[in-house]
A and B are shown apart, each in its own frame.
Chain A
Amino acid sequence: MNFDEHKPIYLQIADLICEKILNDAYPEDERVPSIRDMGSLLGVNPNTVMRSFEYLKTIEVIYDKRGVGFFVTPGAKQVVKNIFKQAFLNEELPQIVKKVKLLDIDSETLYNHIVHGQQSR
């Protein structure tokens, strides 16, 4: 996995798990890989992975079954979707809007790209 230069690693791992929940790789109420397995897979200190899991626990995306492991909370998919949506609207979109303005891309071109993908005009 290639990590982003600027975002803390524990949050990047949390994002990775959230993405897997969104695309059903980790279904609700099922076990996610253990801290050790995740650390080994990514070559990351298990204590860092532990922090990602703790974070996901506080936002109720996963829960801890004592002695068994961590599980995806029922309803987690919607929670993740909301969080990602907010992050997109508040952080990513303003960057895109800035660029659109900078490059003078008119709304029609933009609309066509969003709706029809690559082919415009």
Chain B
Amino acid sequence: MIQIKDLSFKYGNKEVLNHISMNLEAGKIYGLLGENGAGKTTLLKIIGGLQKPYCGECLVCNEIPFQRNPSFLSRIYYLPEETEYIQNDCSAFDYAKLNAPFYPKFDWEKFHTILKEFDLDGSKKLNKLSHGQTKKAAISFAVATNVDLLLLDEPSNGLDIPSKTTFRRIMAEYCLDTTCTLISTHQVRDLENLIDPIIILDNHAVLLNESLERISEKLCFTLEISVPTDALYAEPTLGGYLCVRRNEYGHESRVNIEALFNATMQNKTSIYELFKNA
């Protein structure tokens, strides 16, 4: 679905992405993680055709995103972090009536169902809604487009506590097998159990792009009374230390994504090497 090879991007002289490569497939819900300024939003914008790569290759659905061919644009949806762009003097229904025709597979029934699940009145004027409600309307529209590639930038930001659960359920229920979903987030806990594979990005490389299954094959996450000498990462928690280690004995544990992220940030090279060889 997405092929990125040796992609670089600069804002002026400031390098944001430096020769990164990755491939993404349909039917998966990728979680894109990275520190502030790692280039997550920039990457989403390049994939969505909003930014032009400085050099390197980015192919999405066999098209070059920045050419912004209508055939390409009708197959993708990019939901930015700030969703004020939909806050017009019209209702969510009106907004969808105007914009749905751009997306040939738009599903009205799905749109109504998701609005209902978010407990949002689609006939209310969008510019009268709160920040969180606007976000819900935007998410409902985005998911209902049924596009092949769904790019979501921090979708859980601004959602209240019950809506975060609703969001996970909606994604689990309505993301098609033919859709590739890429979600960038700092709110790992909001999206736990939803995102898989996990991509960890920094300016210079894709440090990790692996399924949870493979991560738990290679690494184990355990609670220990003291920090083992071979720990890649350890953090104090109730009852001891949550430790990340190489999984040498085939111990099957639950991947703690926060700990995985911190372990990767502290051991960029060794994590990269660990997963590089199949």
- CB nearest neighbor in B for A12: B254
Q: Is the CB of B252 within 8 A of A48?
A: no
- CB nearest neighbor in A for B254: A8
Q: Nearest-CB distance from A56 to chain B (Å)?
A: 16
The CA of A89 and the CA of B44, in the complex, are separated in Å by 50
Q: Is the CB of B254 within 8 A of A42?
A: no
Report the interface size for chain A: residues with CB under 8 A from the other chain.
21
The CA of A39 and the CA of B221, in the complex, are separated in Å by 24
Interface of A is mostly: helix
Q: Is the CB of B193 within 8 A of A9?
A: yes
A51 surroundings in chain B (CB, below 8 A)? 213
Which residues 180-216 in B have Cβ within 8 Å of A in the complex?
193-196, 211-213, 216
- Of B169, B173, B211, B253, the residue contacting A8 (CB under 8 A) is B253
Q: Is the CB of B173 within 8 A of A6?
A: no
Chain B CB within 8 A of A4 CB: yes
Q: Is the CB of A45 within 8 A of B165?
A: no
The CA of A37 and the CA of B169, in the complex, are separated in Å by 9
Most chain A CB inside 10 Å of its own CB: which residue of B175, B216, B223, B254 = B254
- CB nearest neighbor in A for B253: A6
A46 surroundings in chain B (CB, below 8 A)? 172, 175
A44 surroundings in chain B (CB, below 8 A)? 168, 172, 193-194
- CB nearest neighbor in A for B195: A45
Q: Nearest-CB distance from B129 to chain A (Å)?
A: 24
Q: Nearest-CB distance from A73 to chain B (Å)?
A: 24
The CA of A32 and the CA of B266, in the complex, are separated in Å by 43
Q: Is the CB of A39 within 8 A of B254?
A: no
Q: Annotate A1-42 by CB proximity to B: 1 below 8 A, 0 otherwise.
A: 001111111010000000000000000000000001101111
Name 16 extra pairs, CB < 8 A, besides A7-B254, A36-B172: A3-B254, A6-B223, A6-B254, A9-B193, A11-B252, A39-B172, A41-B169, A43-B165, A43-B193, A43-B194, A45-B29, A45-B196, A46-B172, A47-B29, A47-B196, A47-B211
Q: List 17 interface pairs A-B (beta carbons < 8 Å), by A numbering.
A: A5-B254, A6-B222, A6-B253, A8-B252, A9-B212, A9-B254, A36-B173, A39-B172, A40-B170, A41-B169, A43-B168, A43-B169, A43-B172, A43-B194, A44-B168, A46-B175, A51-B213
